[in-house]
Amino acid sequence: MPDTRERPAMSQHNEERKFPRGLVIRLFAYLVAGHLFAAFLYLLFTLGDKS
């Protein structure tokens, strides 16, 4: 007789370890945007210091 029992604890455990896809994309976008903004400010202050 085949084993037809469900394993809810195992599937729930796998879902808890994954981040939602939208959250990962948003986090990556904020990370890139933050670094671009920081690079712009660095450039702004570097050019302002030379004048």
Residue 22 to residue 28: CA distance in whole angstroms: 10
Q: Is the pLDDT at 49 greater than 80, yes or no?
A: yes
Whole-number pLDDT of residue 9: 59
15-46 confidence digits (pLDDT tens)? 678 889 999 999 999 999 999 999 999 999 99
Residue 13 to residue 33: CA distance in whole angstroms: 33
Whole-number pLDDT of residue 17: 81
DSSP codes joined into one string, 17-46: HSPPHHHHHHHHHHHHHHHHHHHHHHHHHH
Q: What is the 8-class DSSP label of residue 5?
A: -
Structure tokens at 18: 């994954």
Instruction: Report which secondary-structure segment, H or E, holds 16.
Output: helix 8-17
